[in-house]
Amino acid sequence: MNQSTKRRKEYMTKFKVHLIFIGILLSSLECSPSKRESFNIDVLMPLKYTSVPLDILVNFPQNYNGLNIETEGYFIATFEDLAIYKSKFDYYSDSKNKAIWINFNSELNSNLDDTCKKLNRRYVIVRGRFITKSKGHLGNYVGEVDNVYYISSN
């Protein structure tokens, strides 16, 4: 095999790998429906909360421990990953150190599967009590928003 044929073969192999990668990347990006979804427990809605950007919550979790908070992020509801990330990029980069575990109020649990399916891979606002002691599945997360009584897509 001459040098030119060898280079062409290497080029085609790299080209195929890039095409496969692009195909996987495009298939993993889902089109989010534009319909706004909201789920809440009316009796808990009057609770006072502190609105905290997720990047502040992630970087200074001890400042918000035990407080009712509202934060916004990219919601993921998959096997062993029920969390909000600072961004879609952080999720795809597996940056759990930039994510907060979500634990829903038991009254929302009755519709949890449906709620998670509708809001999965969308930016959401959540309200609940922030706890630094609990760190989600295998202790991989910065903390946990416990007793989530409100979740809404943006």
Per-residue pLDDT of 133-146, as tens digits, reads 877 666 678 999 98
Q: Identify which has the larger pLDDT, 109 or 150.
A: 150
Q: Identify which has the larger pLDDT, 18 or 130.
A: 130
The tally of CA atoms less than 13 A away on the side-chain side of residue 10 is 7
> pLDDT band at 54, cuts 50/70/90?
very high
> pLDDT band at 32, cuts 50/70/90?
very low
pTM reported for the whole predicted model:
0.69
Q: What is the CATH number of domain 38-153?
A: 2.40.50
Domains of the chain, by residue range, sit at 1-30, 38-153
